[in-house]
Structure 1
Amino acid sequence: MKNEELIQIIAEASDDKRAEDIVALDMKEVSLIADYFLICHGNTERQVQAIARGIQDRVEEEGINVKRMEGFEQARWILVDIGDVVCHIFHKEERNYYNLERLWGDASRVPLRIGQEG
């Protein structure tokens, strides 16, 4: 599966758990960490955990293993490492504080096909 397809699947899984402000960044030209970042947030710790679980379940259905998940217990900032795609699932307060979109402002946004309102 191509990374472009994977980022769409992850975005859909996030949207299914009502993640807010889902953003995908193309990191290939600005970082060696990953090819893509997906950034989103939930409003409660429970929702943040549900988003992370939803992403893990969905990619595993596609036969892709999550390499690592960090921060699940605290659920303030969960990092889901899927190799070339790294997901940052924030609690709303932490997302505003860390503002990864601004930190990685040189990265271009990837258009997502999800049913977000607004």
Structure 2
Amino acid sequence: MKEDDVLSLIQIATAGTVAEGPGSALTAPDRSLTSEELLQLILKSLDDDQAVDVVQIDLRGKTQMADYMVICSGRSSRQVGAICEKLVDRLKRDHAHSSKIEGKDGGDWVLIDTGDVIVHVFRPEVRDFYQLEKMWSTPEQTASRL
């Protein structure tokens, strides 16, 4: 990369907008999202993409790995993949928030690590097999899902 290119990227980043391909732009965040704001953005994205049986689990005080865990299902491997791609893309595009994603190629169980919120998207059969929410939920949260 040329020195001029690096300087241009620095100028663009400090101006508040980073170009990412023709006709699109990422807006640099004014501030970091709180875990609660991030959770609400994730829940809205999952709702927009018709994720089913969405459960949110408050992990504060249980572990230091994240503040919240969200577990949901897609109706098929294809929908699981689409839900995950759109969520990661929205967070990156709208809030310059990067996420790590694992398992997208299989489409059975995809984990998205957004930092303060861990998202698991399953096919229903796989979710029923692992019963992940039972490990982390309080009895009231588990009962509300049944």
| Aligned-pair CA distance for 1:49 | 0.3
* Count of paired positions: 108
| Aligned-pair CA distance for 1:55 | 0.9
Equivalent residue number for residue 126 of structure 2: 94
What RMSD, in angstroms, separates the aligned Cα atoms of the two structures?
A: 1.6
- In structure 2, list runs of 5 or more residues that go unmatched: 1-32, 142-146
Equivalent residue number for residue 104 of structure 2: 72
Distance in 2 (CA, whole Å) between partners of 1:106 and 1:18 is: 25
> What TM-score do the two structures reach when normalised by structure 1?
0.85
Pick from 81, 94, 106: which aligns with 1:49? 81
Pick from 88, 95, 120: which aligns with 1:62? 95
Larger RCO of the pair (alpha carbons < 8 Å, separation 6+): 1
Identity %: 37
Alignment of 1:1-118 (within 5 A): 1-60=33-92, 61-66=94-99, 68-106=100-138
Which consecutive segments of 4 or more residues in structure 1 shift more than 6 A? none
| Aligned-pair CA distance for 1:5 | 1.1
Distance in 1 (CA, whole Å) between partners of 2:84 and 2:73 is: 10
Larger helix percent? 2
| Greater gyration radius | 2
